[in-house]
Structure 1
């Protein structure tokens, strides 16, 4: 069984969408490539329960993927902590 990942979409209007899905690829480089392709697209495309969700990136404030993929984009700041 593939590891489970969680995606939290935080929208500009304050709403949040939480999703759970199996890891999409084994190869960390392939995972990073998939993330890059999604970020370059005008819409985030996600299959949910047999339906296709197309979410305009312009409505998304930020995305949170947990746990983080093993391979991160080159420009990623690592080791950060959220503080109040």
Structure 2
């Protein structure tokens, strides 16, 4: 069984979409390349239950991936903590 990750999409209007996804690849270079492509695209494209879900980038406030991917996009700041 593939390792599962969770993707939380937080929208500008305050709604949240929670998805459970299998680990996409063991190849760290491929993971980093695909993350970069998704970040550069005007849509976040996700296959969900055999359907293609395309979410316009301008409707997204931020994304959260748990646990953190093994490969990170370039210029990612590491080791941060949320403080109140």
Q: TM-score range by the shorter chain?
A: over 0.9
Per-residue deviation, 1:74: 2.2
Partner residue, 1:16: 16
What secondary structure is seen at the aligned counterpart in 2 of 1:63?
strand
User: Aligned partners of 1:43 and 1:75: how far apart in 2?
Assistant: 21
What secondary structure is seen at the aligned counterpart in 1 of 2:73?
coil
Partner residue, 2:68: 68
Paired residue total: 84
User: Aligned partners of 1:36 and 1:74: how far apart in 2?
Assistant: 8
Unaligned runs of 5+ in 1: none
Tell whether 2:32 aligns with 1:32: yes
- Could you tell me the TM-score, scaled by structure 1's length? 0.95
Per-residue deviation, 1:30: 0.8
